[in-house]
Homo-oligomer: A and B are copies of this chain.
Amino acid sequence: MKVESVDMFYLAMPDVYDIGDGSQDMLLVRVRAGDHTGWGECEASPLPSIASLVCPMSHSACHPVLDSVLGARLDGPGDIGRIVRAVRANSLDLLQAEHTISGIEIALWDLMGKALEQPVYELLGYERSHPKTPYASSLFGDTPEETLHKARAVRSMGYRAAKFGWGPFGRTTVAADADQVQAAREGLGPEGVLLVDAGTVWGEDVEAAALRLPALEDAGVLWLEEPFNSGALGAYRALADRCDRLRLAGGEGAHNPLLAEHLIDFGGIGFAQIDTGRIGGIGDATRVAKYAQAREVQFVNHTFTSHLALSASLQPFAGSGDDWICEYPVEAKPLAQDLTRNHLTLDESGCVAAPEAPGLGMTLDLDAVRPYLLDVDITVGGKTLYSTPDLTT
């Protein structure tokens, strides 16, 4: 079969706030080939991504993404990687293209799985889908007391792992940060898996980060996430060398697999956090999962939106029992929750796994999300390049 259509839909909550919640809008991708339809989601700014799909060609290495996808042969899983490589070559100088192809690639896997009646993880060569322990993400409270209450609440909800981050952490004194971390540990209990997200607060300042290591080590924190700007490999490496049991985590911003591999090779991270909707899709995320595993680094998904995105993000490490922890969106906006009729709920042991149904295993509820659809029109030189297509399947 051949790729017959690639459609993108910009959906958003009625009000989008200036807060760190990435589930307030969505770029949904629909791909059709043969008699099949696949769905994916870009973890990306919708309008520039749509523009990168349909923009006029600038030169031979700056084609619109659509040029390398529409009409492409799609007879087996291997064709999906070939399409991504074509986009990377033909859109080399179009920076946004790596975010854009991510959602398309995910939709191609969904379609291929439906066509072959197999879950995506099987198409990736995995024998089974190992359940993962989900962690709950929270902001640090404004005070240690508030953090204590938040951690107790997370524990009472049944989560065995929790991440605290942002808020005042890293912004005042070393002692204040130690109190926050200790409060989180106390609230979560001695057995809980505690993760801390510094949200790049220290820029490239290794010494500022190193001052916090004793408190993090004392509290038995499993990972310290994004102490530095993404890409500050030298700072990551220097801090990693000063850790005892604590490991560094990072990689959510990686928009191709090499960037994630550099964080492993040169940054010394212990956990590679990959967003399948940004890195180039499921294939590139799987490449990183295997690269990490060969180097005793754990792969973890980065997911903050819908359960369609969650399913896509679980596939790349579904088959690895060693990679046991996963990010699980707990406070997504109604748009993200309403996108799918089914959801990846926790099993009786509190774990979550990539589904067994063909493709990504998710059933979309288009009627539910249609009210969130934003009409987009783009014209260049009098020619309409994009006009929001019909969302009806």
Q: Enumerate chain A interface residues (CB-CB to B < 8 A).
A: 10, 12, 16-22, 24-25, 43-52, 54-63, 92-96, 98-99, 229, 231-234, 253, 255-256, 258-259, 262, 265-266, 374-382, 385
Interchain CA distance A47-B385 in the complex, whole Å: 11
Determine how close the nearest CB of chain B comes to the CB of A197; give it in whole angstroms.
13
Determine how close the nearest CB of chain B comes to the CB of A306; give it in whole angstroms.
14
Using Cβ atoms and an 8 Å threshold, which residues of chain B touch A22?
58-59, 62, 93
**Smallest Cβ-Cβ distance to A24: which chain B residue:** B59
Choice from B16, B54, B233, B262 contacting A59 with Cβ under 8 Å: B16
**Smallest Cβ-Cβ distance to A259: which chain B residue:** B231
14 interchain pairs, CB-CB under 8 A = A19-B59, A21-B59, A22-B59, A24-B58, A44-B93, A45-B58, A47-B54, A48-B51, A96-B96, A229-B258, A231-B256, A234-B265, A266-B266, A375-B382
**B377-A48 in contact (CB<8A):** no
**A47-B57 in contact (CB<8A):** no
Using Cβ atoms and an 8 Å threshold, which residues of chain B touch A46?
55-56, 58
A95-B98, A96-B52, A376-B379 are known contacts. Are A262 and B255 too (CB-CB below 8 A)? no
Of A16, A96, A229, the most chain B CB neighbours within 10 A belong to A96
Using Cβ atoms and an 8 Å threshold, which residues of chain B touch A378?
47, 51, 376-378
Using Cβ atoms and an 8 Å threshold, which residues of chain B touch A56?
12, 16, 25, 46-47
Using Cβ atoms and an 8 Å threshold, which residues of chain B touch A44?
93-95
**B19-A45 in contact (CB<8A):** no
Using Cβ atoms and an 8 Å threshold, which residues of chain B touch A19?
59-60
A44-B95, A255-B95, A262-B266 are known contacts. Are A16 and B234 too (CB-CB below 8 A)? no
Determine how close the nearest CB of chain B comes to the CB of A96; give it in whole angstroms.
4
Interchain CA distance A95-B277 in the complex, whole Å: 13
**B18-A60 in contact (CB<8A):** yes
Using Cβ atoms and an 8 Å threshold, which residues of chain B touch A376?
378-381
**Smallest Cβ-Cβ distance to A384: which chain B residue:** B377
Interchain CA distance A258-B49 in the complex, whole Å: 24
Using Cβ atoms and an 8 Å threshold, which residues of chain B touch A265?
233-234
Interchain CA distance A377-B387 in the complex, whole Å: 12
Closest A-B pairs by Cβ, 10 of them: A47-B55, A51-B51, A96-B96, A231-B258, A48-B51, A374-B381, A48-B52, A45-B94, A47-B51, A48-B96
Interchain CA distance A378-B51 in the complex, whole Å: 10
Choice from B25, B58, B385 contacting A25 with Cβ under 8 Å: B58
Interchain CA distance A324-B96 in the complex, whole Å: 34
Interchain CA distance A113-B54 in the complex, whole Å: 37
Using Cβ atoms and an 8 Å threshold, which residues of chain B touch A10?
380
Interchain CA distance A253-B91 in the complex, whole Å: 12
Interchain CA distance A45-B62 in the complex, whole Å: 7
Interchain CA distance A62-B304 in the complex, whole Å: 14
**A377-B374 in contact (CB<8A):** no
**A232-B253 in contact (CB<8A):** no
Interchain CA distance A18-B57 in the complex, whole Å: 8
**A380-B95 in contact (CB<8A):** no
Using Cβ atoms and an 8 Å threshold, which residues of chain B touch A232?
258
Interchain CA distance A95-B48 in the complex, whole Å: 9
Using Cβ atoms and an 8 Å threshold, which residues of chain B touch A21?
59
Interchain CA distance A266-B52 in the complex, whole Å: 31
Determine how close the nearest CB of chain B comes to the CB of A135; give it in whole angstroms.
20
Interchain CA distance A382-B63 in the complex, whole Å: 28
14 further interface pairs, Cβ-Cβ under 8 Å (given A48-B48, A232-B258): A10-B380, A18-B57, A19-B60, A20-B60, A20-B61, A47-B54, A47-B385, A48-B51, A95-B99, A95-B255, A375-B379, A376-B381, A377-B377, A377-B378
